[in-house]
Structure 1
Amino acid sequence: MSDDTAAPILSLRNIRKSFGPIEVLHGIDLDIHPGEVVALLGENGAGKSTVSNIISGTILPSSGEMTWQGASFAPSTPREAIDAGVAMIHQELLLLPHLSIAENVFVGRYPTKAGMIDRKTMEERAHDGLQRLGLDISSRRLVEGLSTANQQLIEIAKALTLNARLLILDEPTAALGGDETQKLFEQIERLKADGVGIVYISHRLEEIKQIADRIVVMRDGEKVQEFDSADVPVRTIVEAMVGRSLERMFPAIPAPQEETVLEVRNLTSAQGSFRDVNFSVAKGEILGIAGLVGAGRTELVRAMVGIDPVSSGQILLDGTDISPRSPKDAIRHGIILVPEDRKQQGLVLPHSLGENFAYSNMNQVARNGWITKKRARGFADAGIVKFGVKGESQQRADELSGGNQQKLVIAKWLARNPRVVVLDEPTRGIDVGARSSIYEIIVGLAEEGVSVIVVSSDLEEVLGVSNRVMVMAQGKQAGILDRNDANDVSVMELATI
């Protein structure tokens, strides 16, 4: 931990930010010392990202001042911040898929030799960064096709090569499993020892105890509480974030009905990511799928809805083989997938909420092939109200918080009244309050008789919402546990076989 008597490496004083007539930051004061990790916590919309974007030069404050290493600091672009020694790793992946890993790591600052890009040096330095994070992959490989977890590690490796004196990490472990997270924490400890200051944003509160030196809590654009140590009960942190007592995170889980709705028999990936998977889901049942990163969870559910090819096996609905050959085929049979990456795969971000609703429900909003704005808006308004999306039908999807974007993805598909709902990482990167709302939606579906499958890297989440938990390990089905038998130890024992 840093020496608190040392001068701060970064100071913010009375930072305010307004968008039009609305002030979203209200006089923020914040100090970051060399060699310390400050956890910046709060619900979506609390102002964490706005503060981070001001520090990293993405947006300008409306008033207030910053100092960096004792001098006035007012970056007007991210490049100015990076040149000063401040780097930010965004939650949203910003990689270019058609470039190699090395090219992505050094984009905009390629090493040169005799006026030409020095590819050898670039690839070696990128490889070193990947190795430090435990990612054994060629830096010459294209980013396209890599898992979300591997792309996140590449973003982190990119920041490590900048030799920054202050790193802002926005949800750096959201896509990572336990091993990758521990390797990242080891790098953070090394950076701290080198005097690097770190602002760490995360919704995984348990990991805050492991990595943070101090905690700063924001709510509604204000800094509402600061803890001098990370040794604080999670409940205390959550109550500071939401401004109220939080009695229970997970709602009561209803018992499933006896009728089997979905059955998966001997399903094997054509790409080798999983093999011989067998399970069934009853009417009104919530089946959790757990496992470490790379276990084949996402690949399994993608194959189930016809996105990825299978070499053998069957998908049965009500006892009939319907094995979808495309997502359209799955949707036609009442099986929908809410994907793990809501921004890239779940929404058309520059388009309105109403348009996003319409794209998934053309048969309901288009009469005789024609869509009217009035009909599309009315359809979207009903879904927005029903599922508690904080937004308006004419508003752009990219203007919503992460939690409300996720609600929108779920709501636009649930408007089709599906038989089976598959949710891949349904609460990744969203705050505690929004998580509770999504858990209530999941349980509400089960109560209505919908069969639900929840894939999550958050073990507490899987255990909290599931009637049964299927554990995958290295592409194999390691076991299925009833709710009473599923706990941290029993799941991890199966996940690591």
Structure 2
Amino acid sequence: MTQVAERPANAEPDADVVLRAVDITKTYGVTRALKGVNFDVRRGKVTVLFGENGAGKSTLMKILSGVEQPTGGVLELDGEPVVLASTNDAVARGIAIIHQELNLCPNLSVRDNIFIGRELRTRRGDVDYAREARITRELMERLEEPIHPSTLVADLRLGQQQIVEIARALAADARILIMDEPTSALSAAEVEVLFKIIDDLTADGVAIVYISHHLEEAIEVADHAVVFRDGELVADRSAEGLTLPWVVAAMVGREAEYDFTGAAREFGEVALRIEDVRVVDPDAGGRLAVDGVSIDVHAGEIVAVYGLMGAGRTELMEALSGREPIASGRAVLGSTDLAGHSIQERIALGIGLVPEDRQRDGLVQLMTVGQNLSLASLLGAVRRGFVSRKHERGGIDDQIRDVRVKTAGPEALITSLSGGNQQKVVIGKMLLTRPKVLLLDEPTRGIDVGAKGEIFSLLFREAERGLAVLYVTSEIGEALTASHRVVVMSKGRVVREFDPRTCTREEVMAAAGEAGGDVHPKEPDSE
């Protein structure tokens, strides 16, 4: 039962405050996720929350949207104490949330996902499917995404699923809209559309709470910003005084920036050779998603593949890992042609993929941290026909330490970890297979700046030991500060390569087609 706390002395009445958290605490066993947080949501304004994974942002948002109940403190809606007993209760009061991890039913249509739990009814009491379909089409037009209402969510790419999640929140016609990492899977064009919608909503008086690990993007949309650290609100500032260095320093307690461009550049032999590879897009009537791509990745080298949504980056990664067939061309690991080898065989040969969607493809939600870590390398722990738990546990303990997973222990459920630590588990799982080449598709999606630095530090450490790394990213800053070489893809082809030490952000973006620049293939830029 939530107890009403006294209003802090500095919490003066404010007509613009539609929702207020007063001295909110939340504990999970002995863990204090929130420590007396006071937080205001203002009408017609965008309040941005910054903080590293595990800082308490998402916990507070779950409380504000009725997903969870606070251990202590009180919520005030329109100046009156309120208990949000459930998400339906919150929606009924005008509060909707777009979750960081997609909360969709893949076996249902887009229309059914948008209206699930709040179906529209005819006068006779039947579900009004025609009206739901019409509203769904209108929402898709507003979001500039040509998705038919009857399309199964399972058939959509990740970015389109994110659009459906946003549409569901918009359909609730909320006056308080919480956006938890709404752009983590969106293309640059889709982000622009979302920002236009945010402008329209705030102009109509909708209060928006916005969480994003894309710091520059969040600063662009903010009217006010607050920073969380270790379960506490430690700093706040209006948009006028908001800068990237201030946000980063407040988040991590120091001026934090990762830049590995000065790292050692002594590479070994070619570990992975991609020769004129073509991959058919199974959802586009035979169109080539990857059209004649050739890339060499050397032992000890980290190569970033940058491009817009639809450039063919994910399809290339999945074809190399064995999840999709290569239509023509070949991929050679060392001296072994990967053609005809299954995913399991490719892992055994020394190539593994960290997928884009860690929740769906990288983790088993019902398993523990340890079970997830050992899943891909379990055969390596077999002794005399049985799994040696001692050998398995030794590898798990070593990997938790090496990749610096913050967890209560190997027996903790994977769902108890923050997004950044879950991603470390997915990477650690593949590192336990002792790969020669590691493929990563958007390895830092939905991860804070501190966790990004830790993950890239881990990858550069492994590269120094001889690991070849090929990763896909849609963050230009990430590509330029955490790679030895940047390969730009556009419309299924490699259009240019850059040395991150000498190129500019504008050159890379122009090559990708973001600024109408030169997209003709050229030799890699160098000093």
- Give 2:346's match in structure 1, choosing from 312, 323, 330: 330
Q: Deviations over 1:225-273 (max 9, x none)?
A: 0112264221211111112232545474321425212111111113232
Equivalent positions of 1:15-414 (< 5 A) are: 15-113=24-122, 114-229=124-239, 231-246=241-256, 248-250=258-260, 252-271=262-281, 272-323=288-339, 325-391=341-407, 392-414=409-431
Quick check: 1:305–1:324 contact (8 Å CA) kept in 2? Answer: no
In 1, the alpha carbon distance for the partners of 2:202 and 2:257 equals 36
Q: Deviations over 1:107-151 (max 9, x none)?
A: 112222233222221111011111111101212111112111110
Q: Which deviates more from structure 2 when the two are superposed, residues 448-457 or residues 264-273? A: 264-273
Residue 363 (structure 1) shift: 2.5
- Report the CA distance shift for 1:247/1:481 in structure 2 as closer, same or farther (over 3 A): closer
Aligned AA for 1:424? D
1:470 counterpart residue number = 487
Gaps spanning 5+ residues in structure 2: where? 1-12, 282-287, 514-518, 520-527
Partner SS state of residue 227, structure 2: strand
> Number of paired residues?
494
Partner SS state of residue 45, structure 1: coil
Residue 485 (structure 1) shift: 4.5
Aligned AA for 2:172? L
In 1, the alpha carbon distance for the partners of 2:133 and 2:232 equals 43
Is 2:471 the counterpart of 1:454? yes
Quick check: 1:209–1:230 contact (8 Å CA) kept in 2? Answer: no
Equivalent positions of 1:408-447 (< 5 A) are: 408-447=425-464
Q: Which deviates more from structure 2 when the two are superposed, residues 422-431 or residues 250-259? A: 250-259
In 2, the alpha carbon distance for the partners of 1:397 and 1:248 equals 27
2:3 counterpart residue number = none
Aligned AA for 1:205? L
Q: Which deviates more from structure 2 when the two are superposed, residues 16-25 or residues 261-270? A: 16-25
Question: TM-score, normalized by length of structure 2?
Answer: 0.91
Question: TM-score, normalized by length of structure 1?
Answer: 0.96
In 1, the alpha carbon distance for the partners of 2:94 and 2:389 equals 49
Q: Deviations over 1:129-175 (max 9, x none)?
A: 11111101212111112111110011001111110000110001111
In 1, the alpha carbon distance for the partners of 2:165 and 2:136 equals 11
Residue 276 (structure 1) shift: 1.0
In 2, the alpha carbon distance for the partners of 1:377 and 1:267 equals 39
- Report the CA distance shift for 1:320/1:355 in structure 2 as closer, same or farther (over 3 A): closer
1:489 counterpart residue number = 506
In 2, the alpha carbon distance for the partners of 1:183 and 1:408 equals 33
In 1, the alpha carbon distance for the partners of 2:296 and 2:339 equals 14
Q: Which deviates more from structure 2 when the two are superposed, residues 30-39 or residues 231-240? A: 231-240
In 2, the alpha carbon distance for the partners of 1:247 and 1:53 equals 30
Quick check: 1:377–1:394 contact (8 Å CA) kept in 2? Answer: no
Partner SS state of residue 470, structure 1: strand
- Report the CA distance shift for 1:350/1:251 in structure 2 as closer, same or farther (over 3 A): farther
- Report the CA distance shift for 1:193/1:471 in structure 2 as closer, same or farther (over 3 A): same
Quick check: 2:37–2:233 contact (8 Å CA) kept in 1? Answer: yes
Quick check: 1:285–1:452 contact (8 Å CA) kept in 2? Answer: yes
In 2, the alpha carbon distance for the partners of 1:140 and 1:406 equals 33
Residue 55 (structure 1) shift: 0.5
In 2, the alpha carbon distance for the partners of 1:6 and 1:31 equals 11
**Identity across matched positions, percent:** 39
- Report the CA distance shift for 1:358/1:319 in structure 2 as closer, same or farther (over 3 A): closer
Quick check: 2:348–2:433 contact (8 Å CA) kept in 1? Answer: no
2:10 counterpart residue number = none
In 1, the alpha carbon distance for the partners of 2:448 and 2:360 equals 20
In 2, the alpha carbon distance for the partners of 1:157 and 1:34 equals 21
Quick check: 2:261–2:500 contact (8 Å CA) kept in 1? Answer: no
Quick check: 1:101–1:143 contact (8 Å CA) kept in 2? Answer: yes
Aligned AA for 2:61? S
- Report the CA distance shift for 1:279/1:203 in structure 2 as closer, same or farther (over 3 A): same
TM-align CA RMSD: 1.7
